[in-house]
Amino acid sequence: MSAEATLTGGCQCGAVRYRAAKAVQYVICHCRMCQKSFGNYFAPLVVVEGLEWTRGEPGFFRSSNMARRGFCRDCGTPLCYLGEDGGYEVSAGSLDDPSFGEPEKQINVGAKLPVYDRLPDIPHHTNLQGEAAFNASVVTYQHPDHDTADWPLPKGGHDE
């Protein structure tokens, strides 16, 4: 893991942005608490040091006495796990560089969903032309994968 790299990231809408000084370890956690908070099969978490919020601040849900879970109040993106010791783990998918690192280990494998081991073997969608046409038609309101001077972007926002 590129321990000295400066790491930036944030939520889908861009209301909350962060910077971390150092990445320590990339872990996949299978516990049901992590599954639920990410709405997914597991939580991909990068243990970081020197985290600062550079735009906005997350909301926090105290999921137990051991942890607070940070998320964007405006778009819901899961952003971090804050342990009772004050240590932060950021969600790997919220990092600007989606190719950042690789998971190094799994924890709480006892709670692993059986489908996990089969995921890489799932067939690929074969209508690639249709998929490409759909993707080309998307007008994204997602914050770009880099820091920006101004926010919000000209378009996007909430369905209100």
Partner 1 sequence: MSDTNGFSGGCQCGAVRYHATELNDDAHICHCRMCQKAVAGPFISLVSVADEHLTWTRGTPAEFMSSGNTARGFCPQCGTPLYMRDLDGTKVFLTIGALDEPDRVPPKNQYGNESKRHWFAALHDLPGDETTTEADAPESAARIAATNHQHPDHDTETWP
Residues 47-76 that bind partner 1 (CB under 8 A): 59, 61-66, 69-76
Nearest CB to partner 1, comparing residues 22 and 59: 59
CB of 79 to partner 1, least distance (A): 7
CB of 61 to partner 1, least distance (A): 4
Count CB neighbours of 73 within 10 A.
14
Nearest CB to partner 1, comparing residues 3 and 66: 66
Nearest-Å Rg of the Cα atoms of the chain is: 17
- Among the listed ranges 17-25, 49-57, 96-104, 146-154, the one in contact with partner 1 (CB under 8 A) is 96-104
Nearest CB to partner 1, comparing residues 21 and 100: 100
# residues contacting partner 1 (CB under 8 A)? 75
Q: Does residue 139 touch partner 1 according to CB under 8 A?
A: yes
Q: Does residue 119 touch partner 1 according to CB under 8 A?
A: yes
Q: Per-residue b/e over 37-72, b at no fewer than 16 CB within 10 Å?
A: bbeeebbbbbbbeebeeebbebeeeeeeeebbbbbb
Residue carrying the six token digits 């600007």:
96
Contact 91, 45 (CB under 8 A): yes
Nearest 10 degrees: Cα torsion 19, 35, 37, 108: -70
C-alpha span between 11 and 6 (Å, rounded): 17
- Among the listed ranges 17-25, 48-56, 110-118, 146-154, the one in contact with partner 1 (CB under 8 A) is 110-118
Q: Does residue 43 touch partner 1 according to CB under 8 A?
A: yes
